[in-house]
Amino acid sequence: MVTIVTALFLLILLKTGIDETNLASRQFAMTFPMRMQWAYLALPTGAGLMLFHLAIHFIRSPSMHILDIRREPE
């Protein structure tokens, strides 16, 4: 259940981040000549990487919670 809610949140963040990045592509930074889209690009990039990590974790071990740490005895 937690994984589904997290994935939903990240999908919303990804969509919103893409929209905000598109809007910010028309703005320039005040202090140095750079388009603001580069700063706003962190939102969809981070959300996409977290979704990728969540998907890989879910494929590898769907029954284990993402925060559980299991160490094998040596």
Is 0.85 topped by the overall pTM? no
Residue ranges covered by each domain of the chain: 2-60
26 is written with which tokens?
A: 């028309």
Query: Residues near 2 by Cβ (< 8 Å), separated by ≥ 6?
Result: 65, 66
Q: What are the tens digits of pLDDT across the range 1-55?
A: 778 899 999 999 999 999 999 998 888 888 888 888 888 999 999 999 999 998 8
9 is written with which tokens?
A: 């949140």
The predicted structure's pLDDT at residue 30: 86
